[in-house]
Amino acid sequence: MAIILGIESSCDDTSASICIDGIIASNVVANQLVHQKYGGVVPELASRVHQQNIIPTVQEAIAQAKIHKNDVDAVAFTRGPGLLGSLLVGTSFAKAFALANGLPLIEVNHMQAHILAHFIDDEKPAFPFLCLTVSGGHTQIVLVRDYFDMEIIGQTTDDAAGEAFDKTAKILGLPYPGGPLIDKYAREGHPHAFKFPEPQVPGLDFSFSGLKTSIMYFVRDKVKADPDFLNKNMNDICASVQNRIITILLNKLKKAALETNINRIAIAGGVSANSGLRSALNDAAMELNWKVFVPQFQYCTDNAGMIAIAGYYKYLKQDFVGQDVAPLARMHF
């Protein structure tokens, strides 16, 4: 039996998870509400709250899994990418826990872990498959050949899709985090009420900075003509913006599937919780005969369950690191 403690602290969520022989027995997430009044994550505050949350979060994960801390066989932690101060808290705790209990350490790439979240529950994708990984900091199309044989074949050249959602929400005066609110309002709106441009980027890469700029100018001009424009049209604006972001993502994903001749398609990352994206992906699956894989909501946003499952597969390979390991704000596959 292999029992893995997973630690995730890459941004503003402190999370701990217990994985027992490839099964997630607990997945505890402590959110940070302190950032709401600032309209975004404040790195210094995030690292301080991580320090407050890390011990009780781990204790709760162990308790929910009905094990003792002495039962743990290895500690997996997010090494990067992420906010350096936040990563440092999780890395330091993982190293201390492992050292105190004589356990091996397993470093985990945060973005790889998002993809490996698909191996937590049934039905698991067969290799190879394509994974569209979309979050506040990343937008990637990844060719997944094996658990740790992954190749990024397309990615954003500037901003991420999740950032486009959040910045749009800020332009519209919505509170942080704004992405889920855009999704909520979009359900009541018309996706073709307003037209926004689709960036022309070669290959399988993405761009969202120009879209954000066009939305900003659109809102500025409309509000100037009618100060009550946002109140009157919030649902339609959100639906139209969301539709454009989703079509940008899916058009590149369709191209990738055609070029690689792969019809097993997965999505991962925080934006994969977006109901519009999930619906559009299912529509594409019907049209193109794709086999689609979408994680449970709890494994889409940042969580330690995905770190623990990634750690489990590394544990099987005896892929460990030493106590001199340091967090990396930028970490590549």
As a whole number, the mean pLDDT across the chain is: 94
Q: Say how far apart CA 294 and CA 278 lie, in whole Å.
A: 8
Beta bridge partners of 264: 291
Task: Supply the pLDDT for residue 33.
Answer: 67
Whether 125-294 and 3-115+299-316 are alike in CATH topology: the answer is: yes
pLDDT tens by residue, 175-190 = 888 889 999 999 999 9
| pLDDT tens-digit readout, 268-311 | 998 988 999 999 999 999 999 999 999 998 999 899 999 999 99
What does pTM read for this prediction?
Answer: 0.94
For 117-160, what is each residue's pLDDT tens digit? Answer: 999 988 899 999 999 999 878 899 999 999 999 999 999 999 99
Please tell me the class of the 125-294 domain. alpha beta
pLDDT of 38-83, one tens digit each?
677 777 888 998 899 999 999 999 999 999 999 999 999 999 999 9
Give the Cα separation of 274 and 249 in Å (integer).
Answer: 13
Domain boundaries, the chain: 3-115+299-316, 125-294
Pairing of strands 23-30, 74-80: unpaired
Look up residue 242 and give its two tokens. 């969301």
- From the candidate CATH numbers 3.40.190.10, 3.40.50.150, 3.30.460.80, 3.30.420.40, the one assigned to the domain spanning 3-115+299-316: 3.30.420.40
The count of other CB atoms within 10 Å of the CB of residue 211 is 23
The pLDDT tens digits for 34-49 are 667 767 777 788 899 8
Q: Tell me, what's the pLDDT at 46?
A: 82
